[in-house]
Amino acid sequence: MWPLYDVLIEKYRFRELEARLFSDFLLTILKWEPKDRPSAQDMLSHPWLKMIPHADWKFSRRELREFKKVNGYKVSPSSKSSEEDEESKERSSNKDGNDDAKKKAGAGDTESED
């Protein structure tokens, strides 16, 4: 079984604190027996809901690789190749975007001579 904390880090690249608090929040409210679940009012005081919002809640690919090395996560060959594929796609889309911008800029430079 793949623990939620690990899923959040490895698949969704959550940062460690965010993954820990969010997984605790979800696992608490998703207890099988309703009597074991806290009330919504109780959950309003959960630390995950009290976190200061920020835009960098995900690891960059480089940060994730470093986190996995330091914390002893195994990198499977399939996840490594899919990671490389994603990085390659991002680079090519950035390159294509730059090419499109150059074409648009160049189109304005070449005015018809009548």
Q: Could you list the pLDDT tens digit for every one of the 114 residues in the chain?
A: 889 999 999 898 888 888 999 999 999 999 999 999 999 999 999 998 888 776 567 788 888 888 888 887 766 544 444 545 555 554 554 454 544 444 444 444 444 444
Indicate whether 33 belongs to any domain: yes
The backbone torsions φ and ψ at residue 58, rounded to the nearest 5 degrees and listed phi first, read: -105, 145
What pLDDT shows up at residue 113? 43
Query: What total of structural domains would you count in the chain?
Result: 1
What is the C-alpha end-to-end distance of the chain, expressed in Å?
A: 71
Domain assignment present for residue 86? The answer is no
Residue 22: domain span: 4-75
Task: Identify which of 20, 43, 41, 19 has the alpha carbon closest to the alpha carbon of residue 31.
Answer: 43
Q: Is residue 98 part of a domain?
A: no
**pTM beyond 0.85:** no
Residue 55 inside a domain? The answer is yes
